[in-house]
Structure 1
């Protein structure tokens, strides 16, 4: 038997055996759609005549129905349209609809791009089907609501389960939210998926927006289940695999770090203090503490998501491995801010240090530097006071550029082109208002670096020039900024292959910031390429400890994968590389190191599959074109790396 295929999304299209059927007249199209939703059930002629020709006399309406049936039989054939003197029916086996198929696919646990498009189009279901009367219009509205509710319920079940990966669940949840932007099941699924994808700040942002909206519009709070998800996001889930796979080092392990987690301060009472001001203070305290030899401070990349959350010290210890947690509150009135602070032992819960400060709001960032020094003295009384640089923070006239930089950094972390472009605009504004503001130049250099490694740059030559200009300017303006110095050392290899110059910069950077995760991670590729693989592994591991839930965890995995490849641990290199691939499948540099690791580890089948993906992802790449720019300083190691790529099938 032939089949009538009725596509309703995004617009009406009717086919029979693959051939498009063009029906003339709005009522003929309405007739087919109505029968499609009544498939397998006879519909009385009297009802059809009244439904489709409500303004005609009964006899005239019946005549119009007969004429319409004649046209439909001609289009579909007698077998597909059964009629009696009293009723009309399309056999259930003879009809297929895309919304019915969508329901079946959701029930089977599928999640394809076509399904997402159709889900997002559901509010426009029947939009191109003219209402031929009040009763038919009511039927369209009721059917649209019923179909949407059914598909939404199926989507809720799917995103609440574990049969799909986080990326698919996130996409489906977002599609469901377009149908019902207060659907708590979908919003909760979105939060969980974002957390699993290591985008914790976005997860908490979605929760906070939902909380504020339902409290404002409905006067209620999220369900206890949703609140528990928000508070108990397992930050270590995305990064747990990495430490677990790491083999014991061949040298004696270093002494365990004393780790401090600085959390965003809680705003109490009425406050006009924006998020970026609270996050800015977090950044200042964290970066200042990272410049001390001890204690080590967990990266603000991994603590910023706690904004507007209130985790227990035990929870932070479980999430981040912190020994101590600095918490605080801010109350503002007029132009003054009252800060209360507590430094707590995560294991015992005892308060090790507490303080209150009353300061002008305009001097919050400067106060953060003083607080960082107090905390360091409390935990490590043996610190040499001379090692504590007493820079007194940013001048007030630099606060506005700093706010722009913080907002740009937040957008860069999302690794999506629209937000990434917005970040560039924010950085341009920051540099226009503060042309000598070193953090803006450092972040601008990183922006151009990401633009290159993501393959988004439309002019590589111009991007490299801009990268060099901003990196050099950042070093010139802040000669004691270890993070910027390490970043410039990394870029120096890409631009000039100046190994000695880069290694010298790294030594100085780590003297200045021995416990800064970003400074450490930037050293890893050059150390791996220059014959210092063991040190590269150690620095990469330490960076993971200091920022276990970094938004750029995929980059850190790639760098550490390269270090393991250089050390000869091909299994670990491949494991980290494949984890990075799952997070960032188009990251070309990681693809190549992972392919080489698989080949070197006698996993040629997997290597060849990944090489095919690489060649599709980077059609402009060839080994011959880029081999001189590839990293290893040792000729034999470089030759082995190139041979592994060629053997796997990377474009020669």
Structure 2
């Protein structure tokens, strides 16, 4: 996909990012949409009406909203970047450089993309909500097995639950052409599921269907819904046999509540020691209430492996044994869940069981090729085993198919570490700073930023980045940096240690 280059800037539409000297700039979604609109029309003027329709599709807004976004762009790009055509509109005034192509590893250009939004629940029964979420996730997994198009991970599409965004806005943020929506309604003795497939750009409903089932026979719904969607995407999609995918959900709703609180601890508080401990405690409560909850065991294994590798647990050997035992138990409980296999495979790789862990991750992707976490974890495992180019490409793919994922800050740091290892210093710096922007509390991204700046000979900036990391994590030590970034980087950063305190 083409990017736009001008002055010291680059705009990457596919990634929805503006780079200033290679560093992502803070730019709101409306301002970015307006910038794209101006760049696409360059050197011609964009009328105010056209800009309003493009940036606020389907909404009636005051013209001063447009002025606010123009002002925001001028603050970032300079006052000369956008010219006002009095009473008519705006024009992008800077000279564009010849178009550059940004690579998208392992993803065919022009490949149709689809997002399945969370199904709405029309019932007060919490079990219906679990069914609605499970059904949407299963439809994602089923559709992802059909060759010919790209499924957006549920970790990104579910961000739009109860959000007032329009379909065109959702499509632009996720980079999709099609959207599947649905609802689940509980009647007296029947569950009714309504779904529709929509062309996101035009809003045209391509297909809709309604399915009814007894509450204890919902498994057949996945096949009917997925086949209805697939039949409307021909001839872009090839025909494929759809297999049923069963997901084990906890019988105890309190167990599920603790699981959600564990996720919330990381989402709201970042990847620090306190939040990891809180999340692990919530997961322990979850599986204590429901010992057969495979996903709870799997997530606990992963976070325990992570805490061990970050030097946050006192007994690394004991933690390794706990990870191995918990991961294998999760697999035994729910070997058909791509999510369980994704977490456990990553955990096993994190404790050095690369052969077993990689095999589990491959199985997770066979079940659900849209599992972004499994792609990233398998890419990291490949990188750790010396397959750096292949691993980096797979990590990028995982991040691409889940552009709104809560874990992107962590994944970007891991990707940046591998980029630094192969000598792509500027790309590593970009990933580090993007990770900081996504999660300002994530101290490891600051350590990577310091290491990369040191590699580039920018000592003062490296010292500042290391100081920021130590401010975020007071107990940070060179020994921890050796664990997370390697001995060579630890020795290099030791030069700044006194000045960065």
Q: TM-score, normalised by structure 2?
A: 0.66
Q: Is the counterpart of residue 414 in structure 1 residue 262 in structure 2?
A: no
After superposition, residues 99-248 of structure 1 pair within 5 angstroms as 248=102
- Give, in whole Å, the separation in 2 of the partners of 1:263 and 1:641: 43
Q: In the alignment, which of 155, 175, 185 is matched to residue 321 of structure 1?
A: 175
RMSD of aligned alpha carbons:
4.4
Matched residue, 1:552: 407
After superposition, residues 399-548 of structure 1 pair within 5 angstroms as 400=253, 403-404=256-257, 407-408=260-261, 410-416=263-269, 424=280, 427-449=283-305, 463-496=319-352, 498-548=353-403
- Give, in whole Å, the separation in 1 of the partners of 2:302 and 2:243: 25
Given that 1:401 and 1:431 are in contact with CA atoms closer than 8 Å, whether structure 2 keeps it comes out as no
Alpha carbons of structure 1 residues 313 and 489: separation in structure 2 relative to 1, 3 Å: same
- Give, in whole Å, the separation in 1 of the partners of 2:397 and 2:439: 22
Q: Deviations over 1:377-421 (max 9, x none)?
A: 653652431xx33235548x8474884476346524534399877
Matched residue, 1:160: none
Deviation at 1:646, TM superposition (A): 3.8
Alpha carbons of structure 1 residues 565 and 383: separation in structure 2 relative to 1, 3 Å: farther
Q: Is the counterpart of residue 351 in structure 1 residue 205 in structure 2?
A: yes
Q: Deviations over 1:538-574 (max 9, x none)?
A: 2222222211111222112212222322332211211
Alpha carbons of structure 1 residues 373 and 391: separation in structure 2 relative to 1, 3 Å: farther
Q: Deviations over 1:135-174 (max 9, x none)?
A: xxxxxxxxxxxxxxxxxxxxxxxxxxxxxxxxxxxxxxxx
Larger Rg belongs to: 1
Deviation at 1:577, TM superposition (A): 0.7
- Structure with the greater relative contact order (CA < 8 A, sep ≥ 6): 1 or 2? 2
Deviation at 1:342, TM superposition (A): 0.5
- Give, in whole Å, the separation in 2 of the partners of 1:493 and 1:573: 23
Deviates more, 1:348-357 or 1:284-293: 284-293
Matched residue, 1:265: 119
Given that 1:561 and 1:574 are in contact with CA atoms closer than 8 Å, whether structure 2 keeps it comes out as yes
Matched residue, 1:573: 428
Q: Is the counterpart of residue 283 in structure 1 residue 149 in structure 2?
A: no
SS class of match (2:162): coil
SS class of match (2:351): helix
Matched residue, 2:225: 371
Alpha carbons of structure 1 residues 346 and 453: separation in structure 2 relative to 1, 3 Å: farther
SS class of match (1:303): helix
Matched residue, 1:597: 452
Alpha carbons of structure 1 residues 311 and 591: separation in structure 2 relative to 1, 3 Å: closer
Alpha carbons of structure 1 residues 275 and 451: separation in structure 2 relative to 1, 3 Å: farther
Alpha carbons of structure 1 residues 372 and 603: separation in structure 2 relative to 1, 3 Å: farther
Given that 1:524 and 1:560 are in contact with CA atoms closer than 8 Å, whether structure 2 keeps it comes out as no
Q: Deviations over 1:81-106 (max 9, x none)?
A: xxxxxxxxxxxxxxxxxxxxxxxxxx
- Give, in whole Å, the separation in 2 of the partners of 1:251 and 1:310: 32
Matched residue, 2:70: none
Deviation at 1:424, TM superposition (A): 4.9
Q: Deviations over 1:194-231 (max 9, x none)?
A: x99xxxxxxxxxxxxxxxxxxxxxxxxxxx99xxx9xx
Matched residue, 1:308: 162
Matched residue, 1:35: none
Deviation at 1:469, TM superposition (A): 2.5
Q: In the alignment, which of 372, 382, 388 is matched to residue 238 of structure 2?
A: 382
Q: In the alignment, which of 471, 493, 500 is matched to residue 645 of structure 1?
A: 493
- Give, in whole Å, the separation in 1 of the partners of 2:133 and 2:314: 32
Q: How many residues align?
A: 405
- Give, in whole Å, the separation in 2 of the partners of 1:433 and 1:367: 29
SS class of match (2:302): helix
Unpaired runs of 5+ in structure 1?
1-191, 197-223, 230-245, 632-637
- Give, in whole Å, the separation in 2 of the partners of 1:353 and 1:579: 39
Q: Deviations over 1:447-477 (max 9, x none)?
A: 4356557877576655544333222222333
Given that 1:577 and 1:594 are in contact with CA atoms closer than 8 Å, whether structure 2 keeps it comes out as yes
Matched residue, 1:611: 466
Matched residue, 2:195: 341
- Give, in whole Å, the separation in 1 of the partners of 2:494 and 2:266: 34
Unpaired runs of 5+ in structure 2?
1-26, 32-59, 66-99
Given that 2:443 and 2:470 are in contact with CA atoms closer than 8 Å, whether structure 1 keeps it comes out as no
Q: Is the counterpart of residue 563 in structure 1 residue 418 in structure 2?
A: yes
Q: Deviations over 1:571-618 (max 9, x none)?
A: 121122123234445534433332222122222221122223334555
- Give, in whole Å, the separation in 1 of the partners of 2:144 and 2:106: 24
Alpha carbons of structure 1 residues 310 and 250: separation in structure 2 relative to 1, 3 Å: closer
Deviation at 1:529, TM superposition (A): 3.3
- Give, in whole Å, the separation in 2 of the partners of 1:283 and 1:494: 26
